[in-house]
Amino acid sequence: MTRRGFTLVELLVAMTVGTLIMGAIYQSLIGIQRLMATHSERIEVQQSLRAGAFYITRALRELDASDGDIEIANSDQIRFRGMRWSSMVCATPADMGGNAQLLIRDAMTMGSRGPDASLDSVLVFYQGDPRDAADDTWIIARLSATSATTCDDGDGATDTRLAPPAQTLYDTLAVTAGAARIMVATGVLTGAPIRGFQQEELRVSNYWNGRPWIMQRLATNSGGWNSWEGLLGPLQTSDGLELTYYDASGNVTAVLTNIASVGIVLRAESNRAAYTSGGTIDNIRDSIVTRVALRND
């Protein structure tokens, strides 16, 4: 009976102080959670922009516009020969009547993948007369088959035989179908470079949830196109991809064969809304600007 407990006032004060402390902790946790969500969305947007810029610059850096590698060039669309691999001819090409067969050194083949007979076309360097540069050109043909074999230098390594058919893909090539086969057999020297490519197109279009994305499609070497797939998005607006084409003097050009470099602007936003620095709820937005010089320029 002589021990004293807490009074009602003391209990009320303690409960009030405890409530205030718990409320402050709760608000702090909510703030941290919102900050983490915002940072997560921002990191996702920045990573997407960097990945998209890397892919586009790598693809365009392999092009030579003067050789006709670019087919369509608009501010929000580009169609080009997407280079997939490069190698060298390691033996004298054989004229097989229907096909001109080429042997390439596998150990010297580089790229995102190896030759694919159903997808790839090839650019083969035609030397012609080694004393005359005026007849040098690139022969274009599509692959019809690949097989394992060995080159003639006796190293015993397994290499790849390519069989381009006696026809070309583009009317702009200044040789006929039959002439292309003869040229391969008579003017392509051992050690000549060869590049495998696949037609590719990038453009802006509505994709998921009606929001603009950079879409990609690829062609087979028979001329058919695969379905469009999302490459980067969502974009801020329909001008989330902005391509500007420059000639060798740095002037904007609309002539495909004069393109020496490409300016690239990407504007993307987050998939989900988050708290912005101003305290409002909105999509996180960011952009990246870069420029790439084409091959041989």
* pLDDT mean over 285-289: 93
Kindly report, residue by residue over 141-184, the tens digit of the pLDDT. 888 888 888 876 666 677 888 877 644 333 333 333 344 444 55
Omega of the bond leading into 165 within 30 degrees of 0 (cis)? no
Across all residues in the chain, what is the average pLDDT? Answer: 82
- Look at residue 179 in the predicted model and tell me its pLDDT: 47
Q: Note whether 281 and 274 are within 8 A (CB).
A: yes
* Of 34-38, 187-191, 288-292, minimum mean pLDDT range: 34-38
Q: What is the pLDDT of residue 174?
A: 37
DSSP-derived letter for residue 112 is S
Q: Is the pLDDT of residue 68 over 50?
A: yes
Asked whether 284 and 45 are in contact (CB, 8 A), the reply is yes
Instruction: Tell me how far apart the alpha carbons of residues 44 and 210 are, in angstroms, rounded to a whole number.
Output: 20
Q: In what order do the strands lie in the sheet with 241-246?
A: 241-246, 261-275, 281-293
Kindly list the domain boundaries of the chain, sorted by start residue: 39-78+201-293, 83-198
Residue 3 has a pLDDT of 67
Q: What's residue 173's pLDDT? A: 33
Angle 117-91-86 (CA atoms, 0-180°, nearest 5)? 45
Give the residue with greater pLDDT, 241 vs 25. Answer: 241
Residue 141's pLDDT is what? 82
Output the pTM of the full model. 0.77
pLDDT digits (tens, 9 = 90+) for 258-281: 999 999 999 999 888 877 777 778
